A and B are shown apart, each in its own frame.
Chain A
Amino acid sequence: MIPFSDIERDFAWAVLDGEASVPGPLVGKSGRATSGKTVTRSFAVYQNNVYASLIDALASRFPVTARLVGEEFFQAMARIYIGCEPPRSAVLLRYGTSFPDFVVQFSPAGSVPYLADVARLEWAWHAAYHSADATQLTLAELTEAGPDAEDITISLHPSLGVVRAPFPVVTIWQISGREGKDEPTQLPDGGEDALVVRPKLDVEVRRLPEGGAVFVLALKGGATLQEAASSAMQEAPAFDLKANLAGLITSGAIVSVR
């Protein structure tokens, strides 16, 4: 009598490793033995279910990444990722957080150097979509709360994320996410930083101005407005505090001011 824990272990390994033989104690129709060197079609249903469903999950989570490289390439890449880093939780909406890092070191994708940045932006979008809800401050509330304080601390929306990229990631994401014919495009020079936030129920993606990423990340880390502005000016002397603040306000990213 084989303990079930052994059967389960062999079954799980054989499902994940598509080349493993069918685990020993399986029988097919009418009790005919199906163990052997080749994976039978019946057992292959399970392998297919696991991989196909996870590939689909990744494709729907990283749709622009998939469009950039095409379906065939994306599926092959996703399959290798799944084999290396299968889900560790039954909550699939959390699966794929390490996919952008995987893309970075996946050498066949090297000809598309901005691919991982796009994947990072898409993960930020996905995380914002499912993040906790919070009520943003209205202009009236901000006006009342803000202007007099010397060391204001701004709390940002829990959905807020910043993606910094050496490539024009927001432009690429916008162009590739569009429906319709794919027009040849000369990408702009330089990098782009993205602000991703879901103030209510729609996820918004915006380009951050110079120093904006440092500023927002500092605020997110709990810095006071003054500290965050200083950090931003160190990186970008032209940092415009007024414009950046107005941007945060209009994007609904501020939930409290102290």
Chain B
Amino acid sequence: MDQATAQVTANGVIAQNLTGNGPMPSRAGVGLKPEHYRDILDASPDIGWFEIHAENYMGDGGPPHAYLTAVRERYPLSLHGVGLSIGGAGPLDKNHLARLKALVDRYQPALFSEHLAWSSHDTVYLNDLLPLPYMEETLATVCAHIDEVQEALQCQMLLENPSTYVAFAETSMSEVEFLREVVRRTGCGLLLDVSNVFVQATNHGFSASDYLDSFPAEHVGEIHLGGHAEDSDDDGEALLIDDHGRGVADSVWALYSRALSRTGPKPTLIEWDNDVPSWPVLFAEAKRADAVIADRRSNRVRVSA
């Protein structure tokens, strides 16, 4: 798709249509969990959209595809990859790209996103989003990989800022500088995970507000919010872990408001992947995000009136 049509409509009610597959509303969505298939299909709850982890739908057939097909008939979809290893040193897995393309063709998602992280080394898949140093070499590799993805999928992708627990001595630029340069070179958009910003800020001792204020907000196509766990590092200081195992913390909700004030209303995902709650609990969390978006909208209207 022509990247010109993927320009962000700043503060627009409807986010840009990244893949040409229909609009993604600027409201809350949630991760589609097998635990909730029946709740969703029985009651068709009023929720903006669903996001799936692409790899969970890479089987040949069976119930996962049957459920997803039924859900897709009723809701917009965001395809979120977790295994492409865009931040890896080696080449992208062509077979994996082809599997992603098949999912894009079959389910026509409105958005496709992946992570600034790596998960494969040689032929081993480590099943985690592992960190990379931010330097010229990795910048060039990441950009080449994103070019390849956008070429293969024929759409703009969104790149997500990660949660990290360690940093590298080799790093020579900040994460925001790195992301800004990736966007400039590839024309990709960004997925701003506000929880990841909070987790990283605590783990690495920087200001989450400063990070958000310097983030290239005009390129954000989606926002993530998720719960985190608290642990401690070797020095007994706070070590936050992005476990998606509970509701979003109040401090993260506050940061979310701050982020929206810069990006305008954006499709916002509640990520709750471990200890998945009952549907009403998850739905209520999404409604809370919708309320923040509505609040943001009315603020903007008041300011511009």
A-B complex is real: yes
B82 contact set on A, CB distance < 8 A: 90
For window 154-177 of A, CB contacts with B under 8 Å fall at 158-159
Most A CB contacts (10 A, CB to CB) among B99, B137, B141, B170 go to B170
Interface contact A88-B125, CB-CB below 8 Å: yes
Cβ of A138 within 8 Å of any chain B Cβ, yes or no, is no
A128: which B residues are within 8 A, CB to CB? Answer: 62
* Interface stretch of the complex, out of A73-81, A102-110, A129-137, A240-248: A129-137
Of B58, B99, B120, B132, the residue contacting A4 (CB under 8 A) is B132
CA distance A29 to B237 in the complex (A): 9
Whether B66 and A201, one on each chain, are in contact in the complex, defined by CB atoms closer than 8 angstroms, is: yes
Known contacts A16-B126, A42-B233: A131-B166 contact under CB 8 Å: no
Residue of A57, A91, A159 with most chain B CB atoms under a 10 A cut-off: A91
Contacts A45-B239, A87-B127, A91-B83; is A40 near B234 (CB within 8 Å)? yes
Which residues of B213-252 have CB atoms within 8 Å of chain A's CB atoms?
231-235, 237, 239, 241
Known: A1-B170, A26-B167. A40 touches B125 (CB 8 A): no
Give A203's nearest chain B residue, CB to CB. Answer: B62
A16-B124, A131-B60 as given contacts; A5 in contact with B234, CB under 8 Å: no
- Interface range, B side: 35 or more
Contacts of A253 in B (CB 8 A): none
The chain A residue sitting closest to B120, CB to CB, is: A90
Interface string of A35-72 (1 = CB under 8 A from B): 00000111101100110011001000000000000000
A2 near B124 with CB under 8 A, answer no
Are A42 and B170 touching (Cβ within 8 A)? no
Give the shortest distance, in Å, between B139 (CB) and chain A (any CB). Answer: 10
User: Is B79 in the interface zone, CB < 8 Å from A?
Assistant: no
Q: Mark B96-133, 1 if CB is under 8 A from A, else 0.
A: 10010000000000000000001111111111101011
Given A12-B121, A29-B204: A7 and B168 interface contact (C-beta under 8 Å): yes
Q: How far is the CA of A152 from the CA of B126 in the complex (A)?
A: 48
- A3 within 8 A of partner (CB): yes
Interface size on A, residues (CB 8 A): 51
Q: Are A50 and B138 in contact (CB under 8 A)?
A: no
Give the complex CA separation of A4 and B131 in angstroms.
Answer: 11
Chain A residues near B62 (CB, 8 Å)? 128-131, 133, 159, 198, 201
B90 within 8 A of A: yes
The residue in B61, B62, B123 that gathers the most chain A C-beta atoms within 10 A of its C-beta is: B62
Instruction: State A136–B235 Cα separation when bound (angstroms).
Output: 62
| Chain A residues whose C-beta falls within 8 Å of the C-beta of B148 in the assembled complex | none
Bound-complex Cα distance A16 to B122 (A)? 13
Cβ contacts under 8 Å, A1 to chain B: 135, 170
| Residue pair B167, A90 in contact (C-beta under 8 Å) | no
Choose among A16, A34, A49, A54 the residue with the greatest number of B CB atoms under 10 Å from its CB: A49
A27 in complex: contacting residue of B85, B141, B167, CB < 8 Å? B167
Residue from A41, A46, A131 within 8 A of B232 (CB atoms)? A41
Which single residue of chain A is at the shortest CB-CB distance from B88? A8
- Tell me if B203 is interfacial: C-beta within 8 Å of chain A: yes
Smallest CB gap from A201: residue in B: B63
- Among A180-212, those with CB < 8 Å from B are 198, 201
Q: Is A111 at the interface (CB under 8 A from chain B)?
A: no
Known: A40-B233, A46-B130. A34 touches B166 (CB 8 A): yes
Q: B166, A28: Cβ atoms under 8 Å?
A: yes
Query: Is A34's CB under 8 angstroms from B234's CB?
Result: yes
**Chain A residues whose CB sits within 8 angstroms of the CB of B259 once the complex forms:** none
Partner of B85, one of A11, A46, A90, A91: A90
Q: Is A25 close to B, CB under 8 A?
A: yes
Of the candidates B55, B84, B127, B237, the one whose C-beta lies within 8 Å of that of A53 is B127
Q: Determine the distance from Cα of A27 to Cα of B164 in the docked complex, in whole angstroms.
A: 12
Q: B95's closest neighbor in chain A, by CB?
A: A89
A–B pairs, 5, beta carbons within 8 Å: A4-B89, A7-B168, A12-B121, A41-B233, A87-B124
